[in-house]
Chain A
Amino acid sequence: MTTHGPEQDVLPRAPDASMAPAQLDQLWSEVARDTIDAKRSWLTRARELPTALRIALVVVGSIGISTLALLVVGGVRGDMVAQSLVGRHVLAMVGLAVLATTIFAVALRGVHRRPLGLLGWAAVALGVIIPLGLSLTPWVWQSASGPSAETIHGCNVIGTVTGLFAAGFAWLFQRTSTPAPLRLIASAAGGGVVAFGMLQLHCPSDDIEHLLLGHSIVGIILVGAALVFVGVRRLVLRRA
């Protein structure tokens, strides 16, 4: 198929792109002020790191946050070794780590890359759906005598706090100055996955209700909060 022809008939070549020297100088002084001449804080430096490194730092930071949370709430569940569940849990944790890394990569994707569009939203959806699915397969988290309904609220709070810290940590490395919806919601979904993994390591429950309402719901809470924030922000912008 040729694409040469019609344009030659109908489109004049554009005049050389040019700007008045004064306008170019003015624009350069503004750009220089905001970029190369601007004072760089540690946060700015973190955001200017290569994208792969930013993602790696967020993943490592999330592992650190999870470890810290585990230390605060009493460590890894005690029955894991006794029941020879280590291998199964390691496999599940590796899967969750891959999922969290993918979602954080969506959140931190460089603006020099083409937009992901639906693929980005699909990754976010998986970040919510997979923990929900894992909550419906309690045999993965097999337990002899785990807590059930009465500890749901505790797990929920611990998970939400952990997820918030992980999502917030990811946001520290965000280059965009305005919270683009996908980036914000992906950070929240990533935090939810991190929180789910931490709770699965800590809490020996294999009760579906507990897993759903105590563990996997954290992702829904965080993503829901991000959606509400985006919605409210849009309303405010419209009224402004």
Chain B
Amino acid sequence: MIDKGDGAETDEQLFARYVRQADRVAFEQVFRRYAPRLQAMFMRSGAADIAGDLVQKTFLHVHRARADYQQERPFRPWIYTIALNVRREEARRRARSREIVLAPESVREPSVQPSTSSPTDRLVQRALNQLSDAAREVVVLHWYDGLSFPEIAEMLGATVSAVKVRAHRAYEQLRKILGPEAG
């Protein structure tokens, strides 16, 4: 939930207003809150070249699925679930059409733009790209997007302990990859 504590509406309130009243301003506010985060998430997930397209697709699905949103449920895992599904579908589509697959080895350059990122960021991105899709997904959602393990577990359809184990192994793997270079 994004609540800036300054009286601003929560994501849930904004999106509910959009669903009930087709309030354009409310939808735009939700978009402006989440588009940059989702774009960053897609970039870290190895889809830097199409991150903008994926954000657009995600919001198209958010719009189509708005009647399914329940206001009592947190909005953030809801929209991230859609974003992850969009990314997976795109990965499958590209794999089928033999384009560059969203796989670690196929990502040529760090997903963070060199002009705006430090050498460490680029190093970390390269390390992230070496993880499996499932491991990277958990790290990106947990570390970079700040989602809790229960939230991630709900999104992935796994138990909280399974997600914790996956995260632990992923972080260990990152430590191994980054150890010599980061040290």
Contacts and interface: CB of A to CB of B under 8 A. Distances in A.
B130 interface: no
Interface string A8-38: 0111101101110001100110111011100
A47 to B, nearest CB: 7
B60 A34 contact: yes
Given A7-B174, A111-B82, A35 B60 contact: yes
A113 B22 CA distance: 23
Interface string B45-79: 00000001001100111011111110000000010
Given A14-B44, A27-B56, A237 B96 contact: yes
Nearest to B61: A111
A27 B67 contact: no
Contact of B31 (A5, A28, A238): A28
A178 interface: yes
B141 interface: no
How extensive is the interface on chain A, given as a class? 35 or more
A145 B174 CA distance: 72
Contact of A10 (B32, B144, B175): B175
Contacts of B81: 112-114
Nearest to A37: B24
A6 B178 CA distance: 11
| Chain B interface residue number, banded | 35 or more
Given A14-B44, A115-B88, A3 B168 contact: yes
Given A6-B171, A31-B56, A34-B60, A24 B36 contact: yes
Given A11-B124, A11-B174, A180-B89, A112 B82 contact: yes
Contacts of B147: none
A5 B171 CA distance: 9
A6 B124 CA distance: 13
B116 A15 contact: yes
A6 B172 contact: yes
Nearest to A14: B144
Nearest to B140: A14
Interface string A32-71: 1011100000000001111100000000000000000000
Contact of B98 (A7, A23, A238): A238
A36 B28 CA distance: 10
A82 interface: no
Given A3-B168, A17-B41, A35-B60, 20 more contacts: A3-B171, A6-B174, A6-B175, A7-B171, A11-B171, A15-B121, A27-B56, A31-B56, A31-B59, A35-B63, A36-B27, A47-B64, A111-B64, A112-B81, A112-B82, A112-B85, A114-B81, A175-B65, A180-B89, A240-B97
29 contacts: A2-B168, A3-B149, A3-B171, A6-B171, A6-B175, A7-B143, A7-B174, A10-B171, A10-B178, A10-B179, A11-B143, A17-B40, A18-B36, A19-B36, A28-B31, A31-B31, A31-B60, A32-B24, A34-B56, A36-B24, A47-B64, A48-B64, A48-B66, A48-B67, A110-B65, A111-B85, A112-B78, A112-B85, A234-B97
Interface of B: 22, 24, 27-28, 31-32, 35-37, 39-41, 44, 52, 55-56, 59-61, 63-69, 78, 81-82, 85-86, 88-89, 93, 96-98, 116-118, 120-121, 124, 127, 139, 142-144, 149, 154-157, 161, 164-165, 167-168, 171-172, 174-175, 178-179, 182
Interface of A: 1-3, 5-7, 9-12, 14-15, 17-19, 23-24, 27-28, 30-32, 34-36, 47-51, 110-115, 175, 178, 180, 234, 237-238, 240
Lowest 9 A-B CB distances belong to which pairs?
A: A17-B40, A35-B63, A6-B171, A237-B97, A114-B157, A17-B36, A50-B67, A19-B36, A10-B178
